[in-house]
């Protein structure tokens, strides 16, 4: 039977533009679908760079205006891999044009933007998904299976951190290509929306909704030269963000993210402690899941380091022989594979825009709490 085409238009050819393009090419080589992805067009403001991306990854055309991309009738799905300030307008226009949408995280720069985006995709009835890719690292997916099977029992604690160190230099400018994350107008917030959003998405997926939060943020470098204006301007982002939280299931949590933890490049770790068992995971060793089961016989009880590479572990039957690890880029391959599987089953692949809105509601509450000094509700 001839496969159905999924004709893709990508916006943004940077870090995520590459990760997504790789996923579009790799997923059908390792997974079986009724759909066949077709890389129709890549959009970026610089035509030469867009053409270079198209040539490298196999897109058959380029656009320099995202609205022109959306206006094309030979595209079924718009993939948004542009900075955060672009997400809302592109997603709403794509939904109104009846396109499916995959959007990078955070969904909006704040929950109000995300609410508009959710309304647009739900009104249009178009399939939609947000690239919270850490859910698709096999060890993290295995953690979800173990928790859903009830092996941990009652949950007491959740703990997550995401540490980097790339903005410590005082003379690092803000704004423009590569540095838009330091420009609050473009990014929406600092590490809260950039790094903690990942931690919150995984946390709520594993442990359910967060009820309320108490946050603390700091901007260590108050002024930086802005690359687009040439002026020294106030820095509006949070450089570090910590918060305490209470989940609806009664468990307590602590979260921390910073770009000022010298020596750490992308240290995302999570831990969950239950009545019967605990789980730990570390992005620097992403194919391992540490698991402690109090039910083990006492003399041999201890933390197990599970090497998540066997065929009965999530996604791993699609790759190599048992024992051989996969990496960061595969989380995007898995996410796109799940999107296609969802299309075939006519079931939304998660997280949808609505799920990602829940994360933005929490990040807004963290930022608000840091301002008010009060606990803030983190539910819609
Ligand atoms: N899921 C993840 O783990 C993850 C990791 C990194 C980034 N992200 C998210 O992905 C998005 C992109 O981040 P990135 O690191 O790839 O950024 P990047 O700076 O590497 O790339 C951004 C791209 O968007 C393009 N762009 C900017 N304005 C545009 C416009 N008006 N029209 C068309 N293209 C435009 C830029 O030219 C560039 O190609 C952000 O929302 C970010 O938060 C997610």
Q: Taking the domains of the chain in order of start, what are their residue ranges? A: 4-132, 134-377
DSSP code, position 195:
I
Find the mean pLDDT for residues 186-200: 98
Q: How far is the CA of 15 from the centre of ligand 1 (A)?
A: 7
**For the domain bounded by 134-377, which CATH number is listed?**
3.30.360.10
Is pLDDT of 356 > 90?
yes
Phi-psi bin for 35: left (phi > 0), alpha (psi -120 to 50), beta? beta
Q: Is the pTM of this model over 0.95?
A: yes
> What are 113-168's pLDDT values in tens digits?
999 999 999 999 999 999 999 999 999 999 999 999 999 999 999 999 999 999 99
Closest CA to 294 of 119, 152, 193: 152
> Which distant-in-sequence residues (6+ apart) come within 8 Å of 219 by Cβ?
190, 235, 236, 237, 238, 239
Output the ligand 1 site: residues, CB below 6 A.
Answer: 11-17, 43-45, 66, 81-84, 86, 104-105, 131, 133, 178, 194
The atom number, within ligand 1, closest to the CA of 178 reads: 19
Q: Which two tokens stand for residue 88?
A: 């809302």
Give, for ligand 1, the residue of 18, 20, 45, 83 to mutate: max count of ligand atoms closer than 8 Å to Cβ: 83
Confidence of residue 225 (pLDDT cuts 50, 70, 90): very high
User: How high is the pLDDT of residue 2?
Assistant: 86
What's the pLDDT at 380? 75
What SS3 class is residue 47?
A: helix
**Backbone dihedral region for residue 180 (phi beyond 0: left; psi -120 to 50: alpha; all else: beta):** alpha
- pLDDT at site 110: 98
Residue 37 phi/psi, 5° resolution? -65, 140
- From 104, 189, 336, 356, the mutation candidate for ligand 1 (largest count of ligand atoms within 8 A of CB) is 104
Q: What superfamily would CATH give domain 4-132?
A: NAD(P)-binding Rossmann-like Domain (3.40.50.720)
The candidate with the shortest Cα–Cα distance to 53, out of 14, 27, 16, 85, is 14
- pLDDT-derived band at 103 (thresholds 50, 70, 90) equals very high
- Confidence band for 186, pLDDT divided at 50, 70 and 90: very high
Proportion of the chain above pLDDT 90, given as a percent: 99
Distance 247 CA to ligand 1 centre (A): 31
User: Is residue 75 scored above 80 in pLDDT?
Assistant: yes
Ligand 1: which of 9, 16, 66 to mutate, judged by most atoms within 8 Å of the beta carbon?
A: 16
pLDDT at 274 (0 to 100): 98
Confidence of residue 58 (pLDDT cuts 50, 70, 90): very high
Helix (H, G, I), strand (E, B) or coil at 158: strand
């Amino acid at each position: 039977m001839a496969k159905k085409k999924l004709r893709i238009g990508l916006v943004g050819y940077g870090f995520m533009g590459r990760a997504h393009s790789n996923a579009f090419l790799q997923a059908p080589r390792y997974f079986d679908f009724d759909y066949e992805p077709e890389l129709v067009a890549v959009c970026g403001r610089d035509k030469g760079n867009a053409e270079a991306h198209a040539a490298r990854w196999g897109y058959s055309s380029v656009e320099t205006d995202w609205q022109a991309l959306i206006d094309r009738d030979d595209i079924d799905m718009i993939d948004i891999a542009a900075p955060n300030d672009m997400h809302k307008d592109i997603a709403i226009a794509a939904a109104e044009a009846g396109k499916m949408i995959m959007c990078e995280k955070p969904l909006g720069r704040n929950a109000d933007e995300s609410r508009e985006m959710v309304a647009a995709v739900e009104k249009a009835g178009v399939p939609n998904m947000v690239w919270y890719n850490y859910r698709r690292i096999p060890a993290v997916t295995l953690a979800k299976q173990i928790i859903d099977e009830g092996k941990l029992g009652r949950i007491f604690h959740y703990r997550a951190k995401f540490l980097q160190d790339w903005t410590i230099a005082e003379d690092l400018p803000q704004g423009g290509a590569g540095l838009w994350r330091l420009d609050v107008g473009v990014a929406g917030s600092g590490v809260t929306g950039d790094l903690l959003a990942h931690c919150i998405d995984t946390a709520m997926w594993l442990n359910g909704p967060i009820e309320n939060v108490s946050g603390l943020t700091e901007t260590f470098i108050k002024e930086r030269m802005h690359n687009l204006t040439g002026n020294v301007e106030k820095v509006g982002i949070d450089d570090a963000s910590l918060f305490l939280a209470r989940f609806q299931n009664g468990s307590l949590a602590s979260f921390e993210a910073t770009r000022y933890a010298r020596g750490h490049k992308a240290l995302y770790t999570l831990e969950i402690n239950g009545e019967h068992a605990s789980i730990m995971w570390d992005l620097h060793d992403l194919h391992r899941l540490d698991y402690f089961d109090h039910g083990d016989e006492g003399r041999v009880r201890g933390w197990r380091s599970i090497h998540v590479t066997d065929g009965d572990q999530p996604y791993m039957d699609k790759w190599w022989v048992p024992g051989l690890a996969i990496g960061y880029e595969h989380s995007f391959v898995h996410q796109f594979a799940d999107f296609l599987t969802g299309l075939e089953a006519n079931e939304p692949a998660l997280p949808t825009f609505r799920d990602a809105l829940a994360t933005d509601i929490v990040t807004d509450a963290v930022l608000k709490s840091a301002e008010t000094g009060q606990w803030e509700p983190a539910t819609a």
